[in-house]
């Protein structure tokens, strides 16, 4: 009996949050180690399905750096990186598309759908959703690493309205059909603006933004976009955290209320972020 009472209490505690988020759009960027561990994958999929069932419009964007690297190694190709981005020649682009669209995306759909959701997989090429071009980098030639020229959200709105969960892999194309490998954080950031999402929640493999990347106890609980920019300029943010933080800055500058970076390996991190006052990880706001 006590146990039943406790369960009812937990549900009732969630009521104000459910009321707050119902009907709102939340973009979830799925990445890091939470993508490769089966138990963590199940937890994330369950959370996404629960959010949809309580009336939240969830849109998922995923990358897949680790699976792409694994596939390249299986094929005997050594991955190359320049300033945190994968140098993407034609062969690497082919592999990235195979892995992201054919493999990671499909796996994510299966997880969400077996957890009881109705997920539809898309790449940025579907319905010309993400028009991209070559990203010009000052230093090395990054090949087919792309940046976003334009996002057309019509297909996403159509899916949301029909109750589906769009799951988007970060591949785009230019008007000639050339594919580009785009950083998934960048896609999630810009998409959250275009959709006028209430929140952008990034699941990664760190507790959040760390003052000292080598010391997990230095978690920064919250900061403004201006403070985040200053941290990047000071050089305290490196590698994959740079596009992540930049996408959060872009999101809040573009009208998204809050952007969060949380540890996807914490069981039910998404629910903890959305349905508790304390929240977890790092929260970025405009001011």
Tell me which residues touch ligand ADP (CB under 6 A).
31-32, 63, 65, 185, 204-206, 209-210, 213, 236-241, 244
CA dist 36 and 20 (Å) reads 32
Taking the least distance from each CB to ligand ADP, the nearer of 225 and 241 is 241
Residue 137 beta carbon to Mg ion: minimum distance, rounded to whole angstroms: 16
Q: Which of Mg ion, ligand ADP, none is residue 149 near (CB under 5 to 8 Å by kind)?
A: none
Helices and strands (DSSP H and E) totals, the chain = 10, 14
Residue 145 · residue 89 · CB < 8 Å: no
Residue 264 beta carbon to ligand ADP: minimum distance, rounded to whole angstroms: 8
Residue 110 beta carbon to ligand ADP: minimum distance, rounded to whole angstroms: 20
230-249 mask for Mg ion (x: CB under 5 A)? ----------x---------
50 CB-side CA count, 13 A = 17
Taking the least distance from each CB to ligand ADP, the nearer of 159 and 260 is 260
Taking the least distance from each CB to ligand ADP, the nearer of 201 and 274 is 201
- In order, the DSSP letters of 204-250 are ESSSS-BSSTT-GGGB--EEEHHHHHHHHHHT---TTHHHHHHHHHH
Binding residues with Mg ion: total (CB under 5 A): 1
Residue 203 beta carbon to ligand ADP: minimum distance, rounded to whole angstroms: 7
Task: Specify the residue for token string 């949809």.
Answer: 52
**CA distances for 173 relative to 5, 143, 182, 186, 195, angstroms:** 53, 14, 10, 15, 20
Residue 81 beta carbon to Mg ion: minimum distance, rounded to whole angstroms: 11
Binding interface with Mg ion (CB under 5 A): 240
């Amino acid at each position: 009996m006590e146990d039943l009472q406790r369960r009812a209490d937990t549900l009732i505690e969630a009521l104000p949050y459910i009321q707050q988020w119902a009907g709102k759009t939340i973009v979830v960027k799925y990445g890091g180690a939470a993508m490769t561990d089966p138990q963590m994958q199940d937890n994330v999929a369950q959370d996404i399905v629960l959010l949809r069932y309580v009336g939240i419009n969830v849109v998922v964007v995923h990358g897949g750096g680790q699976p792409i690297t694994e596939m390249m190694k299986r094929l005997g190709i050594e991955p190359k990186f320049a300033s945190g981005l994968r140098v993407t020649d034609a062969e690497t682009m082919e592999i990235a598309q195979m892995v992201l669209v054919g493999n990671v995306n499909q796996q994510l759909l299966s997880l969400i759908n077996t957890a009881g959701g109705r997920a539809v997989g898309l790449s940025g090429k579907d319905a010309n959703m993400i028009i991209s071009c070559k990203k010009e980098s000052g230093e090395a030639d990054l090949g087919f690493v792309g940046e976003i020229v334009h996002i057309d959200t019509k297909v996403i709105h159509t899916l949301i309205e029909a109750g589906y969960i769009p799951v988007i892999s970060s591949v785009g194309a230019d008007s000639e059909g050339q594919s580009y490998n785009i950083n998934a954080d960048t896609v999630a950031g810009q998409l959250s603006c275009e959709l006028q999402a209430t929140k952008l929640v990034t699941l990664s493999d760190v507790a959040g933004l760390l003052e000292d990347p080598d010391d997990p106890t230095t978690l920064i609980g919250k900061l403004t976009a201006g403070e985040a920019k200053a941290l990047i300029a000071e050089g305290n943010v490196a590698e994959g955290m740079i596009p992540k933080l930049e996408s959060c800055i872009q999101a809040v500058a573009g009208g998204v209320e809050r952007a969060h970076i949380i540890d996807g390996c914490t069981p039910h991190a998404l629910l903890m972020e959305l349905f508790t006052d304390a929240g977890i990880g790092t929260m970025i706001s405009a001011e």
